[in-house]
Amino acid sequence: MRTRRNPSSSQSIPRETGPSSRFYIPVVYKFWMAVMLSILWATLSWMLGRKWVVEMTDLFGAFLAYFLFLGIAVVPGFMNAFLVASLLLDRRPGFRRATKAWPGVSILVAAYNEESNIVQTILSIANQHYRGPLQVIAINDGSSDDTAAAMRSVRFPWLEVLDLKKNVGKANALTYALKRVQHSITITIDGDSFLHKRALQNLVLRYMSDPPNTRAVAGAVLVRNSRTNLVTKVQEWDYFHGIAAVKRLQSLYQGTLVAQGAFSAYDTQTLRDVGGWPHTVGEDIVLTWAILKAGHRVGFAENAVLFTNAPTTWKQFIRQRQRWSRGLMEAFKLHWQMLFKLRLTTLFIWWNLLFPYLDIVFSLAFVPGVILALFGIFWIAGPMTLAVLPLAFLVNWLMYFIQKKMFTSQGLKVRRNWLGLVIYVLFYGLILQPACVVGYIQEFVTRGKRWGTK
């Protein structure tokens, strides 16, 4: 048994090596296998698209032609191939159950104007029946409604309510509460969320079972209000497919890039070492990169399920993704050194660096190119580009198959939402990518840091 002791608690966190499987492919081999397959796919895309590039060169010039070709076909092809290869190679390790007492956990629930949701969130924590010491700190961040009164309406011996009279922002509220944390593991939960019955147990078990250098583990956040309207129906697939698949991919290579504030576990002492949550728009991604930059590992518990309310209008959705894009820019500004750290996750840092370029190409070139192609004008989007659409369905089928297995293991059932799936696969990017482009720009022209949609 390997045990990591934490200065913030007298309790140790047990981690067992467990029996090795008969046939095991080391992670580094999986990484290079996926890289080679992705290079082959990108090379094939390059060869098949040479005629297309020549035609675009005649229209737009060589620089713009290659700028569009790489952003539409080659780079996305490499990324999709890497995603598919890695998901096929991924074999999620089982839990290695502790032989000692369960570690104590401190849960921070920061809330701003969550009067109608906060009680259910706290009750979902109570229903976890966690077997170790539990401390829950509910923080009312200067709400203008009766959130504080709602927090005090439920009474548990492990619940403490902090009522901040002035709104200080989510990051500052969490960092303030961190001073009162008693246990070696700190978990954050959003104030409008609902934990699945085994979510807390599975998150802690994954944290205990992962390699000893793990200092954070992201939970699986899914949409709670998916039945509300078309906006939430589409987002249900984004959380269920895209976000979960990317976190699974990054966790495989030992560096999930976002331990989201909605539901994640952190090593308490590490949080204190990095100064808590930074006062930024994307405090969770900036914090995660600080943990990674310090040389630690961040994992992902795909079966630690929390349901949260997604934006219910396209306007709210766009604002949310603009915030997420700003958070990515903040992470690069504060932790640019991550681009030059030699570890498997460095690929994903460079990958994220390409997102603004890909989003710009998609917004300004791919979308009008597809529209023209539908009328037989293949100036930008050629027949090969249109062939990406059935590939998108194939990729989503793979994500669905993997996620459905997880759902079944947790006693959950995938809801029938075919309309949301079709819109997600075919049209989601038409709104998402332009919103991201605006978010990148906002980070350099807007300085405000405030609460907003998640």
Check if the beta carbon of residue 260 is closer than 8 Å to that of residue 218: yes
Q: How confident is the model at residue 449 (pLDDT cuts 50, 70, 90)?
A: low
Output 439 or 218, whichever has higher pLDDT.
218
Output 163 or 129, whichever has higher pLDDT.
163
A 10 A CB-CB count for 204 gives 26
Q: What is the pLDDT of residue 108?
A: 98
Alpha carbon distance 31, 86 (integer Å): 7
Q: Which of 53-62, 366-375, 394-403 has the lowest mean pLDDT?
A: 366-375
Check if the beta carbon of residue 238 is closer than 8 Å to that of residue 192: no
DSSP codes, 213-245? TEEEEEEEEEES-TTS-HHHHHHHHIIIIIIHH
Asked whether the predicted pLDDT for residue 317 surpasses 90, the reply is: yes
Alpha carbon distance 104, 207 (integer Å): 13
In this prediction, residues 101-126 reach a mean pLDDT of: 94
Q: Which helix (H) or strand (E) holds 79?
A: helix 75-89
Alpha carbon distance 439, 437 (integer Å): 5
Check if the beta carbon of residue 151 is closer than 8 Å to that of residue 118: yes
Q: Quick: pLDDT tens for 322-367.
A: 999 999 999 999 999 999 988 898 999 999 999 999 998 888 877 7
Q: What is the pLDDT of residue 321?
A: 93
Give the burial string for 276-315 (b: 16+ CB within 10 Å, else e): bbbebbbbbbbbbbbbbbeebbbbbbbbbbbbbbbbeeee
Average pLDDT, the chain: 86
Alpha carbon distance 436, 442 (integer Å): 10
Asked whether the predicted pLDDT for residue 271 surpasses 50, the reply is: yes
Q: What is the pLDDT of residue 389?
A: 62
Structural domains in the chain? 105-335 (3.90.550.10)
Which sign, positive or negative, has the C-alpha torsion 338, 344, 350, 355? negative
Q: Please name the amino acid found at residue 115.
A: E
Q: Quick: pLDDT tens for 29-87.
A: 999 999 999 999 899 888 888 888 888 888 889 998 899 889 888 898 899 889 989 98
Question: Quick one: how far is CA 325 from the chain centroid?
Answer: 12
Alpha carbon distance 401, 404 (integer Å): 5
Check if the beta carbon of residue 138 is closer than 8 Å to that of residue 149: no
